Amino acid sequence: MSQGSLARWALIASIIGGVSYVASWGLSLSTPAEVLWKGAGVGLLAVYAGLKARSTDGWLLTAVMALGALGDVLLVTSGLTIGALAFLAGHLTAIVLYARNRRGASIPALLAAAAFIPVVVGVAFHLPADRAGAPGVALYATGLSAMAASAWLSRFPRGWVALGALMFVVSDLLIFARGGLLPESFATGLAVWGLYYVGQLLICLGVTAALTSPSDFPGECRGPDSA
């Protein structure tokens, strides 16, 4: 089987794993089974990105997806704080990726991206019911919002990558609001997981497509060493 076919099957398996994970919520699974199922969606996106990688940017994307999958696993095995650290590492890696692929942005676009960060941090700080955790949430939200702002300012297709990053932001804001403004419910959990997984999927597909077929995205350029 060719590397391209392996990548395609990894993507298909990721979508199946990411969508079907919702079904696991009604099952009494062992911790290893829950960890495997939860990590499969984004973990297989990391496999897909790795199989498609042809440059430093491709491997940075692979690392972003792998750290996201690690965060998914650590949330189950080690709790919210340790899981958030893995996600934060992923956001910082994504910022490096997007910074390597900056687009020529107008002053209004730069101002909008700059304003987005304190808005998200301020909202995140006021959402947790446990106020003792609010400073940590704000710190995490700084990295999260900077990642999304960097995605907007990157030369990757905004309808995929920036949208996916924004979905990731909304998903995390919903997590911060759970137990406070939002009740714990199936609908809330579905929104959190759906926005997160689809967001990661859009980021992965958008970056990969732009790196491998830049001619399909007029005005959206490759990274510095992706020729």
Domain boundaries, the chain: 3-216
Question: CA-to-CA distance for 149 and 26, rounded, in angstroms?
Answer: 36
- Write the pLDDT tens digit of every residue in 43-94: 999 999 999 999 999 999 999 999 999 999 999 999 999 999 999 999 999 9
CA–chain centroid gap for 121, Å, is 17
Paired residues of 62 in beta bridges: none
Tokens of 3: 């590397």
Least confident of 44-48, 95-99, 106-110, 188-192: 106-110
> What share of the chain in percent tops pLDDT 70?
94
**The pLDDT of residue 219:** 55
Which of the four pLDDT bands, split at 50, 70 and 90, describes residue 218?
low
**The pLDDT of residue 226:** 38
Stretch 195-207: mean pLDDT, rounded?
A: 98
Stretch 102-112: mean pLDDT, rounded?
A: 89
Question: CA-to-CA distance for 140 and 121, rounded, in angstroms?
Answer: 8
Question: CA-to-CA distance for 76 and 215, rounded, in angstroms?
Answer: 41
Whether residue 227 is predicted with pLDDT greater than 80 in this model: the reply is no
- The residues near 105 (Cβ < 8 Å, ≥ 6 apart) are 113, 153
- Write the pLDDT tens digit of every residue in 117-174: 999 999 999 999 989 999 999 999 999 999 999 999 999 999 999 999 999 999 999 9
Which of the four pLDDT bands, split at 50, 70 and 90, describes residue 224?
very low
Whether residue 225 is predicted with pLDDT greater than 80 in this model: the reply is no
- Mean pLDDT of all residues in the chain? 93
Please report how many Cα atoms fall inside a 13 Å half-sphere around the Cα of residue 142, on the Cβ side: 6
